[in-house]
Amino acid sequence: MRLLLLALFPCFLSAALPGPAIPFENPNILLIVVDDMGWGDVSCYGGQVPTPNMDRLAKEGMQFRQFYVASPICSASRCGMITGQYPARWRITSYLQTKAGNRECEQADFLDPQAPSLPRVFQKFGYATAHIGKWHLGGGRDVTDAPKFAAYGYDVGLGTYESPEPAAALGLKTTPWETKREPQQVPRHERTRWMVDETLKFMQQHSTQPCFVNLWLDDVHTPYRPSEGKDDRPLPAKYRDVLVETDRQIGRLIDSLPSNTLILLCGDNGPEPTLEHTRTKGLRGMKWSLYEGGIRTPLIVRWPGTVPAGAVNDTTVLSSVDFMPTLCALAQIKAPAADQDGEDMNTALRGEKIVRPKPLLWEYGRKPGEAGKVKTGFPYPKEPDSKSPNVAIRDGEWKLLVNADGTQTELYHLGKDPNETTNLVEIEKDTAERLKKAALDWRKALP
């Protein structure tokens, strides 16, 4: 049982052999994503809730402090992780929902199975592949024609309600946020334990070959139900208990992993609620926002003997779209022929503080001028000063945000102003014009 925990990053194969014959010595890959985990949730990132097991990962591995996901919302963010491409390429810019809601958002009903797929790449090279937990890339509600997990390269798929193949224990028709429960469905507060159990079971069943596993948890997403039955305590107390339990189950998981395991742990987008921005450590924005609090999450990587223990990289800008090229490079596997938006950043995992060679770009939502009219479309933050323009670009220390129609341009120097408090668009006019043109040209080129 060898597990490489891929919460958002590279997988190393010790030898580059053609075809599916992977030597047993090669590591497993496990990608752990914690739903709605904010940049300030983990205590080693300054969080107020003790998370000793995630802190242990950081002590035995590396923290990345400039890590970004591809979107401030779940479906689009996960699309970027799987494909190595910006999710807007595949017409996913919000959360996938009803067919009518998706049409209103001008987006697809599910991720096109023709898109590049990380698990498919590793499956072709002899890996056993599994998805366990939240999917949210198609299926659920009235979307009954979403492709099965096998179409993306998974041997096993155990999804939640928002997937083409929900696991019975997670609810076949009942959503995890409802108080009612199907007879075979585990209680909300035991879902993380069940997902960890299934991950370990899958790896044990495939102990004679390397494994690629998504473990995509659906806590610490609201509603917080840390125990069975009614809980009338204040929201912060319930949030604390849910985060503590998530950390405990992650600890139970890593205790069962072999030493030759790459572990990567991250969130899918910023938190909601922010609890007065304690969960973003003061970063502006939250889930549904292109400000830093909505798209920057923790990234912890552990791989004994390869990733330096106890290291903190606070300068290298990494993104979830880098997973595809980085993992393929480390594994000496040929990446898909399709254009990639991510960069090969494998040397950053080995301890180098490198400079990103090209900008990062984001789009959230397709109708910024009509946000109030899109009834089922794009959620926007209700917290003051958190709703952002819907297109963004980061180039070096500069970050520019602008609406797709060219309005509301904002420019920030993140090296000096990480909380995005001072708009420099009228002071740094040349930089603002250059980045605005790049962002809008990119947006116009999208499907």
Task: Let me know whether 399 and 320 are in one domain.
Answer: no
Task: Let me know whether 59 and 118 are in one domain.
Answer: yes
Q: What is the domain range of residue 410?
A: 360-445
Instruction: Determine whether 208 is exposed, middle or buried from the number of CB atoms within 10 Å of its CB (0-12, 13-18, 19+).
Output: exposed
Task: Let me know whether 418 and 388 are in one domain.
Answer: yes
Task: Let me know whether 94 and 195 are in one domain.
Answer: yes
Last residue of a domain, one of 349, 375, 404: 349
Q: How many CB atoms lie within 10 A of CB 35?
A: 21
241 within some domain: yes
Question: Which CATH number characterizes residue 423's domain?
Answer: 3.30.1120.10
Q: Which of 436, 447, 414, 3 is nearest to 213 (CA)?
A: 3
**What is the 3-state secondary structure of 77-96?**
HHHHHHHCCCHHHHCCCCCC
Per-residue pLDDT of the chain (447 residues; tens, 9 = 90+): 444 444 434 333 333 333 344 444 677 888 999 999 999 999 999 999 999 999 999 999 999 999 999 999 999 999 999 999 999 999 999 999 999 999 988 999 999 999 999 999 999 999 999 999 999 999 999 999 999 999 999 999 999 999 999 999 999 988 888 888 999 999 999 999 999 999 999 999 998 898 999 999 999 999 999 998 778 999 999 999 999 999 999 999 999 987 788 889 999 999 999 999 999 999 999 999 999 999 999 999 998 888 999 999 999 999 999 999 887 877 778 888 778 999 999 999 999 999 999 999 999 988 654 545 566 678 889 888 999 999 999 999 999 999 999 999 999 999 999 999 999 999 999 999 999 999 999 999 999
Tell me how far apart the alpha carbons of residues 141 and 12 are, in angstroms, rounded to a whole number: 38
- Residue bearing tokens 């009834």: 375
Question: Which CATH number characterizes residue 308's domain?
Answer: 3.40.720.10
Task: Let me know whether 159 and 215 are in one domain.
Answer: yes
Question: Quick one: which H or E segment has residue 244?
Answer: helix 235-255
139 within some domain: yes
Task: Let me know whether 339 and 405 are in one domain.
Answer: no
Task: Let me know whether 34 and 87 are in one domain.
Answer: yes
Query: Looking at beta carbons, which pairs linking 398-401 to residues 24 or more positions away fall under 8 Å?
Result: 398/428, 398/431, 398/435, 400/425, 400/431, 400/432, 400/435, 400/436, 400/439, 401/290, 401/291
Contact by Cβ (8 Å): 31, 5: yes
292 within some domain: yes
pLDDT at 336: 85
pLDDT at 23: 45
17 within some domain: no
Tell me how far apart the alpha carbons of residues 76 and 94 are, in angstroms, rounded to a whole number: 6
3 within some domain: no
Last residue of a domain, one of 349, 382, 402: 349
Task: Let me know whether 341 and 382 are in one domain.
Answer: no
Residue 199, both tokens? 């991950």
Task: Let me know whether 343 and 367 are in one domain.
Answer: no
Q: What is the pTM of this model?
A: 0.92
Task: Let me know whether 210 and 239 are in one domain.
Answer: yes
22 within some domain: no
Task: Let me know whether 274 and 135 are in one domain.
Answer: yes
Task: Collect all residues with Cβ–Cβ distance below 8 Å to 320 and sequence separation of at least 6.
Answer: 8, 67, 68, 69, 70, 77, 80, 81, 266, 342
Task: Let me know whether 303 and 410 are in one domain.
Answer: no
Looking at the 3D structure of the chain, how many domains does it have? 2
253 within some domain: yes
Classify the phi-psi angles of 71: left when phi > 0, otherwise alpha if psi is within -120 to 50, otherwise beta: beta
Residue 331, both tokens? 């594994």
Last residue of a domain, one of 284, 314, 349: 349
DSSP state of 185: P
417 within some domain: yes
